[in-house]
Amino acid sequence: MDDSFTNTNGVSIIFKMIKDIQDNKQYLSDIDGQIGDGDHGINMNKGFTLCEEKLKEAPVNLSEGLKILSNILMMKIGGSMGPLYGLFFKAMAKESEGKEVINADVFQTMLVAIPVELSKVSKATPGDKTLMDCLIPAVAAYQEAIATGESFKSALMKMKNAAVAGRDSTKDMISKVGRSSRLGERSIGVIDAGSASCCIIFCAIADAIFELLN
């Protein structure tokens, strides 16, 4: 069993994310419609589908593909989520650039860079009912697993489980950031759409890497 994969083969991670976002377009918009604009699924689907079209033009590796995805999300998607996810993937692209092989440690640097990058434009913290409620626990779970000597696959599974738990935790929270924050306690009882898309992304990344490591 391998404990790494090549940057070249890693582009499959992006195609997995694209498929899962496309498959959940309606789900994300339905959630968002309960306390937001109702267009999160449409916007995410648009961005990831544009990326898919671009990736089919010429072969790229994981780093190059992440950069393409980042640029498209920042330039083509409106609202706050486009820039946030643009920075999300920009951070991952930067940390993987020049690395021929992605192992557990390289992937950890890619993950840790995400919240650092997002903190430059967002003051949201866990408990605010945002994608941070999924992101921060997922990254922390992966770090903790690696620090205690667990395998790449085991750490990915911990990351995935923490992402799901983080997403679900937003249901009982009061929204403190963005348009939904105006609803106050009426925002309780609904999962945050950003945390839902973040969870889809983390699960897709983990599942794609499982395939690459087999």
- Provide φ and ψ at 6, rounded to 5°: -80, 155
Residue 96 to residue 50: CA distance in whole angstroms: 22
Query: pTM of the predicted model, to two decimals?
Result: 0.94
Amino acid identity of 139? Answer: V
* CATH number where 175 lies: 1.25.40.340
Q: What is the pLDDT of residues 58-104, one digit of tens each?
A: 899 999 999 999 999 999 887 778 999 999 999 999 999 999 999 99
Q: Which residue range is the domain that position 189 belongs to?
A: 4-213
Please list, in sequence order, all residues whose beta carbon lies within 8 angstroms of the beta carbon of residue 194, skipping any fewer than 6 positions away.
40, 81, 84, 130, 131, 134
Domain count, the chain: 1
The string of DSSP codes covering 49-118 is: HHHHHHHTTS---HHHHHHHHHHHHHHH--TTHHHHHHHHHHHHHHHHTT-SEEEHHHHHHHHHHHHHHH
Mean predicted lDDT score pLDDT of the chain: 92
The pLDDT value recorded for residue 160 is 98
Residue 146 to residue 156: CA distance in whole angstroms: 9
Structure-block tokens of residue 98: 């020049």
3-class DSSP state of 4: strand
Residue 49 to residue 8: CA distance in whole angstroms: 21
H or E element in which residue 12 lies: helix 11-23
Residue 209 to residue 3: CA distance in whole angstroms: 10
The answer, yes or no, to whether residue 174 has pLDDT greater than 90, is: no
Would you tell me how many other CB atoms lie within 10 Å of the CB of residue 150? Answer: 16
The answer, yes or no, to whether residue 134 has pLDDT greater than 60, is: yes
Q: What is the pLDDT of residues 183-206, one digit of tens each?
A: 556 668 889 999 999 999 999 999
The pLDDT value recorded for residue 1 is 44
